[in-house]
Amino acid sequence: MACHDQDVTLLSFWPSPFSMRVKLALLLKGIEHEDLPQDLGNKSKLLLESNPVHKKVPVLIHKGKPIAESAIIVHYIDEVWPGTSPLLPQDAFLRAQHRFWTDFFEKKISDSLDRFIRSNGAAVNEEFIQDCLLLEGALAELGDEEEGPFFGGASMSFLDVMLAPSAVWIPALEQVMGLKPTSQEQCPRLHKLFGAVTEHPSAKVALPQIEKLKEFTQARLVSDHHVWIAKASP
Ligand SMILES: N[C@@H](CCC(=O)N[C@@H](CS)C(=O)NCC(=O)O)C(=O)O
């Protein structure tokens, strides 16, 4: 059931994987919100005032108070609107595992993808493959395959929300820039998870179509790959 009158605004940018995470968490929780797409090439006063430290999206403004950084925002959403099934596990050890693998994803996998893009597809991605294999191991250990494809089993958990944008970004980078991701044989569970993400009703709304991301990536490559994120408009 949707939560109304919550006074929630999301400052976002549609290709941003970090914005996608927050949008997905809001949709999973049924939280009514206003989405204000931002022009990152010409940052609004609202964005600069709401995130004066990093000046980046996403920012969630709840009752006039801004919160920045996607993982912190999703955590906040889960605390304020726990609902019947919180995104973070009840068990403290499992919660720590979700934070650990989120941190791992940011520092290793997300960083590899970023370097790949910034080097115009030239960076060797053997490290990326090894890191995906480690994540596959974590999914085999933490996610109950009989319950469902996600780290959270049948439903998306915190870590699934953190990883979800990769379900559209990795294929887009593969098809436009020649990224070589892991095969289905190497990472069967991750492939299943990303497949389930693309089929999930909330993710279908929160994440853009792969085709749209491909067009975005292609256009940025043609203009200037060094500033391709900053120059884009929604
Ligand atoms: N660690 C941040 C990363 C946010 C981020 O990098 N946002 C990008 C869009 S994908 C941005 O706003 N870039 C504008 C800029 O760097 O000036 C998070 O998790 O929210």
**Domains along the chain?**
8-80 (3.40.30.10), 92-221 (1.20.1050.10)
DSSP 12: E
In 3-state terms the chain splits into helix, strand, coil percentages (rounded to 5) of 55, 10, 35
Give, for ligand 1, the residue of 10, 46, 229 to mutate: max count of ligand atoms closer than 8 Å to Cβ. Answer: 229
What ligand 1 atom has the least distance to the C-alpha of 13? Answer: 9
What ligand 1 atom has the least distance to the C-alpha of 73? Answer: 20
Residues with CB under 6 A from ligand 1: 13, 16, 18, 40, 55-58, 69-71, 229-230
Q: Going by CA atoms, what residue is nearest to atom 14 of ligand 1?
A: 56
Omega before 149 cis (within 30°)? no
Burial class for 2, CB neighbours closer than 10 Å (0-12, 13-18, 19+): exposed
For residue 86, pLDDT beyond 90:
yes
CA of 83 to the centre of ligand 1 (A): 28
CA of 184 to the centre of ligand 1 (A): 30
As a whole number of angstroms, the distance between CA 128 and CA 3 comes to 39
What ligand 1 atom has the least distance to the C-alpha of 55? Answer: 17
For residue 193, pLDDT beyond 80:
yes
Whether the CB-CB separation of 101 and 138 falls below 8 Å is answered with yes
Percentage, residues of the chain above pLDDT 70: 92
- The reported pLDDT for the residue numbered 203 is 98
Tokens (6 digits) for 84: 């019947």
CA of 91 to the centre of ligand 1 (A): 30
CA of 56 to the centre of ligand 1 (A): 4
CA of 186 to the centre of ligand 1 (A): 30
177-184 contact pairs (CB < 8 A, 24+): 177/116, 177/117, 177/120, 177/121, 177/217, 177/221, 178/121, 179/113, 179/116, 179/121, 179/125, 180/125, 180/129, 181/128, 181/129, 181/132, 182/129, 182/132, 182/133, 182/136
What ligand 1 atom has the least distance to the C-alpha of 56? Answer: 12
Q: Indicate the average pLDDT of the chain.
A: 91
For residue 52, pLDDT beyond 50:
yes
- The reported pLDDT for the residue numbered 187 is 97
Confidence of residue 122 (pLDDT cuts 50, 70, 90): confident
Handedness of CA 218, 222, 227, 233 (dihedral sign): negative
Confidence of residue 173 (pLDDT cuts 50, 70, 90): very high
Angle at 206 between CA 185 and CA 85, to 5 degrees: 80
